[in-house]
Each structure stands twice: as C-alpha cells, then as structure tokens.
Amino acid sequence: MDYIFDKFEDEIKKGVRRVFDLDIDIPIEIPDEERGDYAIPCFVFSKLLKKSPHEIAEIITNNIELELGSAQSSGPYVNFKIDDRELVKNTIEKCLEYEDSFGSYPSKDEKMILEHTSANPNGPLHVGRARNPIIGDTLARVYEKMGYDVERQYFVNDIGRQMAIFAWGSINIEERDLPEPERNKIDYRMVRYYQKANSQLEEEPKIEDEVRDIIHAMEKGDKQTLNLFKDNADKVLKGVTDSLKRLNITLDSFKNESDFVVDGSVDDIVDQMDKNKRCGKEDGALFFEKDEKRTFLTRADGTNLYPARDLAYHKWKAERAGRLLNILGEDHKLHGHFLKDALESIDITPVPDFVFYSFVSFEGEEMSTRKGKYVTLDDLMDTAHNKAKKEILKRRDDFSSDEIERISEQVGIGAIRFNIIKIQPEKPIDFRWEEALNFRGDTAPFIQYTYARSCGILERSDIDLDPDQVDMSKIDEPGEMKLIKTMAKFPHILKTVRDNNVPHRLAKYALELASEFNQFYRDHPVIQSKNKKTERLLLVKAYSYVLKSLLDTLGLEAPESM
C-alpha cells in the first residue's frame, strides 16, 4: 500500500469519515484532470446530514486534514489534488526501487490455478481460439503482479466423441491417402486424420458403429484405447504449445480429463452427488437440478458424462489452490454456472471465477477446425512478422539482418496480442486482416515505439545518473507532471483489472501511458535541455521502467530500438 495514489485515496476516505464521524462508503471518483485527481460528489451525504450538497462540500473542504494533497470545493463537489512534490517524490522513488516490476504488490502467499485455452486437441489453433490464451495469459500476469502464485493450466479434453473420431482416423487412414499438410508441424499433420475421418463419417454412416465401439472401449477404461487418445492429444498439443510459445504464452501444467476417469475420482464425485438432495435420477441416469434445469452427470448405463468429469477436475483444483479462474468461450456459460452451483451444493471451495468471451468470426463466418475454415494462429503470426519487417525496412537501414528478424517478431506478435486483448471480452470480434496488421494508432507497435523512443534518449545520454544528486523539485511543468501522474496510476489499474477481470482496461491504460510520453517528448527536450537535463533523464528512466513493466504484463516484448 505504499504507492502514492493508494495512500492518497485512503487518506481522503478516512479524512471525510472523520469530518462527519460517519461509517459509510465514501463515494470517490476520478474527475476531469483540470478539476483534480479525486472528487467526492456530496449528494449522498445530503439526505443523511440534512444539509445541501454545497454546504457539505464546504464543510469537508474546510475541515478535512490532508498531508498528501489539498481539497477544494466546487459547488456540490469536493475536488482533491495531490501534492505535486509528494507525487514526484514517491513515484520516482518507487520506480527506482521496483525498476521494471513497478506496480507489483508483495506476495500474498496464495496459490491460484488459472485455466485457459483447454481447446480440444485435434488440430492447430486458429485465430478464434487464440482469444482464450491471450486473455488467460494476460490475466495470469496481472495476478502475478498482484502477488498471487499463479499456475497456468490447460485441461486436456483427451476423451469424448470428437477424440474418438480422431482416434478412428489415426487407426484407419493411411498417411499416403492424405493431402500434404499445410505446414510441416505436427498439429497440421495430425489434423488431417481428424478432418478426413469427419468427412468419411459423413459419406459412410456405417463408420459410426466403429466410432461407437471406440467410445465404448474408452468408457470402459480400455488402456489401449485411452493411450491412443492420449497419444493423439499429446502430439497435437506439442504443436499447439509451440505456437503459443511464439505468442509469449507458456502453460505451467496440463491435466488430462482421462486421468480422472482412470483414477476413479469421477466415480467418487458421482457417488458424492448421488447423495446430494439437488440430484435425482431418470431411468437410472444421475442429474443435478437447479432452477428446473437438469444437467446429467451419468448415462442410464452408468457411464459418466463430461459435467461429472469436469466436477472431478474442479474438486481436484480446489484442493490445490485458494483461487480459481477459468477462461471460457461464451458457449460454456451455462456449464460454468452448473459447475459453480454443483460445487457449492457439496461445499467445495473455492468455486471458480469465470471470464467468458465472445467468439472471433472470420469475415462474418464462424471458424471451424472440423470444416477446415479458419486462419491459423501460425499463419497470422507469419504474416504479422512479414508486415512488421516491411515497415522496419521502410525506415531503417542500420539494422543487421538478425536485428530485423528479432524486432519484426517482437512487433508482429505484439500487434496480434494487443489487438485481441484491447477489446472487452464479451464483445464479439470480426477478424479482419487490415485491422489485425495495423501498426498505427491504438496498437502494440505504437506502445513499443514509444518505449524505444524512451530508450533512445537514455542510450544517448552520456552522464551517470545518481538519483541522490538529482533535484526532483525541478520537475514541475504541466507536461512533466501529467506524465508522472499517468505513471503513478499503474498500480491502481492493475487492481481494477484484477478485481473485475477486465484485461482490456490494461490495454487502454497502456495507450494512455504511451500517448502521454509522446506529448512530453514533443514539448520537452531532455538531452538538449539547458537546465533540467539530469532531472528529465531521471524522469525518462523512471518512465521506461513503468512502461517496461506494463509491456511485460501485457505479454509484449519491449524492443529498445525499432
């Protein structure tokens, strides 16, 4: 709690409560910047105290005791302004203390399992599916900054009908009967079996019987069948994780759905649910009921269904972490609610929180692995890389070819991550190439470019900065103060993102932070400054720490030149 805005907000709330000796939530908001840093509208006090909002604003202004700033009434509002000197001092100090982990909070010593991606492992990731890992990974980084011990986990749906069709294909189809893979990558080679199996299934319905035999064998726990499923899943997953790694996303662990069948924990949870008063049976099939909505856990023949297996998985997770978060497509909303209700009904805590996101369409149509209609993540990454390279070559001729490749990758990949994360999850995205590859305006390259600019200044400076020798009281111009203030807001933004699971807010803030620097850059010479060179250099150094920390949190690389 030692970031300046944390302290100031706390001081204002306590101060107002003390003025009126009230124990209520103080409404505090962030006004337009000319008015101040915080504002309290006094309308709510009006009824309680039987005074006009104007009067109350006056009383607060005249009686509140503040160390970090000042109060000024403005009609029915009290506006609070943080003290410039405190702001500069604290912010610069914190930047130098935390460096590029500015914004971090101390470890909470709490374990969290964040489940993301968990896509059926039957083919390469396409752009639609990529929204999940990008949201998941960004939130994982935010929670880590906030002090959680985060485990990023992929729940591998390695059993079920789709995987059975996949298995049938890998048994019955010869490689020589398949088209060339679109890429020499294992997930692309494997998806051909899945796609061909699906199209053969449509033409020859009798294959259905063979698929059913495979499903039965799987459900009976047949080792050989399960191993085949798992083997197919593992191969595809190898390709998928390679793609994700390129997006700067790594998973910490994988948990196979089949494990819960094999080790008997699904049976255990079914037994437990059987005794639950919210559960009932229909023709021998067990169901959970809430609000007249039934979710079946087993079939009439006693074999278990996905909800039961997911329940076993969540019980397993709950035993291992104090906080759970799942990133799921909006089609899983109902299932998410079922999970929560069912877990609560048997007193399993913690129950997971969810982020549901809308689908990404491609030119207005849904992407489908089965039908082969999609833009793969790999294709998008390659195209982004090439586009970035073209942009670099347009303006720089002093980079080595290695540097060009490295920066093209950093910029291209960043553009993809950012363009997806900047949109509120519940909003649908219609994927368009020009938009995905746009490098100007509200984009990652804009933010990265800003970082490179700040690095450029630091690199050119010839003096050794000794913070103790720098007179920070010289940092006082509006453009300088605005920059500092925006920097100081970062910890607050992280809190908001964590409290509401709204990763797009982080992206919006990043744009603001970058834009602020570019304005500063235009108006305030640093190296050529006559009397403020060291002070501004220190400011730029502090700034670059904040931006670096923010880029890290967004999973974006921070090129020092581009």
> Cα–Cα distance between 304 and 307 in angstroms, integer?
8
Applying CB under 7 A, does 48 fall inside the site for RNA? no
The least distance separating RNA from the CB of residue 358, rounded to whole angstroms, comes to 6
Applying CB under 7 A, does 405 fall inside the site for RNA? no
Nearer to RNA, 222 or 426 (CB): 426
**Are β-strands 293-296 and 285-290 bridged in parallel, bridged antiparallel, or unpaired?**
antiparallel
The least distance separating RNA from the CB of residue 220, rounded to whole angstroms, comes to 13
DSSP reduced 3-state for 28:
coil
Nearer to RNA, 79 or 243 (CB): 79
Interface with RNA (CB under 7 A), residue from 282, 344, 363, 471: 282
Applying CB under 7 A, does 65 fall inside the site for RNA? no
The CB-based long-range contact list for 489-494 (8 Å cut-off, 24+ gap) reads 489/5, 490/102, 490/103, 490/546, 490/549, 490/550, 491/3, 491/5, 491/6, 491/103, 491/105, 492/3, 492/5, 492/6, 494/103, 494/105, 494/142, 494/145, 494/146, 494/553
The least distance separating RNA from the CB of residue 53, rounded to whole angstroms, comes to 7
Specify whether the backbone of 38 is left (phi greater than 0), alpha (psi in -120 to 50) or beta. beta
Considering only residues 384 to 403 of the shown chain, the ones binding RNA according to CB under 7 A are 388, 391-392, 395
CA 326 to chain centre: 11
The least distance separating RNA from the CB of residue 21, rounded to whole angstroms, comes to 21
Applying CB under 7 A, does 221 fall inside the site for RNA? no
Which of 16, 72, 71, 75 shows the shortest CA–CA distance to 49? 16
Considering only residues 151 to 190 of the shown chain, the ones binding RNA according to CB under 7 A are 157, 159-162
Residue type, 492: H
The least distance separating RNA from the CB of residue 335, rounded to whole angstroms, comes to 4
Q: What stretch of H or E contains 18?
A: helix 4-20
Interface with RNA (CB under 7 A), residue from 77, 188, 193, 362: 77
Interface with RNA (CB under 7 A), residue from 64, 165, 305, 321: 305
The least distance separating RNA from the CB of residue 43, rounded to whole angstroms, comes to 2
> Partners of 254 in the beta sheet?
154
Q: What stretch of H or E contains 559?
A: none
Q: What stretch of H or E contains 79?
A: strand 77-82
Applying CB under 7 A, does 475 fall inside the site for RNA? no
Interface with RNA (CB under 7 A), residue from 106, 179, 205, 441: 441
> Cα–Cα distance between 132 and 152 in angstroms, integer?
12
Tokens in use for 439? 């490098």
> Cα–Cα distance between 408 and 404 in angstroms, integer?
6
Interface with RNA (CB under 7 A), residue from 97, 280, 284, 344: 284
> Partners of 373 in the beta sheet?
368
Interface with RNA (CB under 7 A), residue from 21, 23, 34, 174: 34
The least distance separating RNA from the CB of residue 183, rounded to whole angstroms, comes to 25
Applying CB under 7 A, does 453 fall inside the site for RNA? yes
Nearer to RNA, 53 or 103 (CB): 53
Interface with RNA (CB under 7 A), residue from 18, 220, 293, 320: 293
In the structure, how many helices (H) and strands (E) does the chain have?
21, 14
Q: How far is CA 172 from CA 178, 215, 350, 372, in A?
A: 12, 15, 44, 20
What b/e string do you get for 280-292 counting C-beta neighbours within 10 Å, with b at 16 or more? eeeeebbbbeeee
Interface with RNA (CB under 7 A), residue from 165, 273, 355, 429: 429
Applying CB under 7 A, does 52 fall inside the site for RNA? no
Nearer to RNA, 293 or 371 (CB): 293
- Segment contacting RNA by CB under 7 A, of 81-89, 145-153, 288-296, 550-558: 288-296
Nearer to RNA, 98 or 254 (CB): 254
Which of 122, 130, 189 shows the shortest CA–CA distance to 159? 122
Applying CB under 7 A, does 424 fall inside the site for RNA? yes
Residue type, 233: A
Applying CB under 7 A, does 366 fall inside the site for RNA? yes
Binding residues for RNA, total number by CB under 7 A:
96
Nearer to RNA, 135 or 159 (CB): 159
Site string for RNA, 106-145 (x = CB under 7 A): --------------x-------------------------
Applying CB under 7 A, does 418 fall inside the site for RNA? no
Interface with RNA (CB under 7 A), residue from 423, 436, 470, 538: 423
What b/e string do you get for 474-483 counting C-beta neighbours within 10 Å, with b at 16 or more? bbeeeebeeb
Considering only residues 454 to 473 of the shown chain, the ones binding RNA according to CB under 7 A are 455-457, 460
Nearer to RNA, 185 or 309 (CB): 309
Applying CB under 7 A, does 262 fall inside the site for RNA? no
Q: What is the Cα gyration radius of the chain? A: 28
Interface with RNA (CB under 7 A), residue from 49, 262, 438, 481: 438
Nearer to RNA, 70 or 250 (CB): 70
Specify whether the backbone of 350 is left (phi greater than 0), alpha (psi in -120 to 50) or beta. beta
> Cα–Cα distance between 213 and 225 in angstroms, integer?
10
Sheet containing 365-366: give its strands across: 365-366, 360-362, 429-431
Nearer to RNA, 236 or 305 (CB): 305
The least distance separating RNA from the CB of residue 184, rounded to whole angstroms, comes to 28
The least distance separating RNA from the CB of residue 490, rounded to whole angstroms, comes to 16
Considering only residues 477 to 536 of the shown chain, the ones binding RNA according to CB under 7 A are 499-500, 502, 504-505, 508, 511, 514-515, 518-519, 521-522, 524-528
The least distance separating RNA from the CB of residue 443, rounded to whole angstroms, comes to 7
The least distance separating RNA from the CB of residue 480, rounded to whole angstroms, comes to 11
Applying CB under 7 A, does 358 fall inside the site for RNA? yes
> Cα–Cα distance between 317 and 297 in angstroms, integer?
19
**Are β-strands 253-256 and 148-156 bridged in parallel, bridged antiparallel, or unpaired?**
parallel
Considering only residues 318 to 347 of the shown chain, the ones binding RNA according to CB under 7 A are 330-335
∠ at Cα 135 (130, 139), nearest 5°?
Answer: 150
